[in-house]
Amino acid sequence: MIISIGIGPGGLDYLTRRGERLIREADVVTGFTTVIDFVSEMISPQAKRIDLTYKNQSEELELAAIEHHAGKKVVAVFMGDLHFSGWQMQERVEKACGHVVDTVPGISSAQIMASRGRVCFDETTFVTFHRRGDLQPFKKHLVRVLEDGRNAIVIPHPWEFMPNRIAGHLIEMGISADLAVEVWENLTAEEATWRGVLSECTAEFSDMSIMLVRAREPFPSVFVDDE
């Protein structure tokens, strides 16, 4: 067995029960070291870790596939929800195994961002730059989203296209410099928040950041009068 699991944005309260059970029962756990470390307390002492880096991931996934084909219970762990920003990695898992690999969805940082920012996905578009390859189509998509009056939740590209460069690019493309922006770091962990407008978004942020650009006003708070 091999299965890919989204572990959530970091805080283990956001890991699903099924994901936790599969990690605890696994004979082999693979994924990038920073991701495995989040769930290390759940991994059996007898389980094997196969840590990935950007340089060795193809070779190490081949080793995980060998364990899978030998009948071991193998899990590949992803940050957040792999359907939001991890599908290129999922394709590499499937290439190594030679077949489609089942997935267990997780909670994405995009969903936590929507909660913190009080926006709904009916009026918000998710855009990720956390991918390999040409970013230009996704840059154009982000501009069109904001031109259409929709909010945008954006995952930056470490360290090539971070919030300050995203803000500068949007202004260059004619998006109003006065649009409200929030940048959140380490959601569900040691959270930090920056708020301002596009023209003010010039600071450096960590690779655990996510960005909300508002084209709409946030939902008002609703209070129920009991009288």
Structural domains of the chain, with CATH:
2-104 (3.40.1010.10), 109-214 (3.30.950.10)
Residue 223 has pLDDT above 50, yes or no: no
Question: With contact defined as beta carbons under 8 Å apart, do 144 and 199 qualify?
Answer: no
Mean pLDDT, the chain, rounded, equals: 94
Residue 144 φ then ψ, to 5°: -65, -40
pLDDT in tens, 106-157: 999 999 999 999 999 999 999 999 998 999 999 999 999 999 999 999 999 9
pLDDT exceeding 90 applies to what percent of the chain?
92
Within 10 angstroms of residue 192's Cβ, the number of other Cβ atoms is 14
DSSP class of residue 167?
H
- Look at residue 227 and tell me whether its pLDDT is greater than 50: no
Which H or E run contains 124?
A: strand 124-128
Q: What is the pLDDT of residues 143-202, one digit of tens each?
A: 999 999 999 999 999 999 999 999 999 999 999 999 999 999 999 988 999 999 999 999
Q: pLDDT at position 225, please?
A: 52
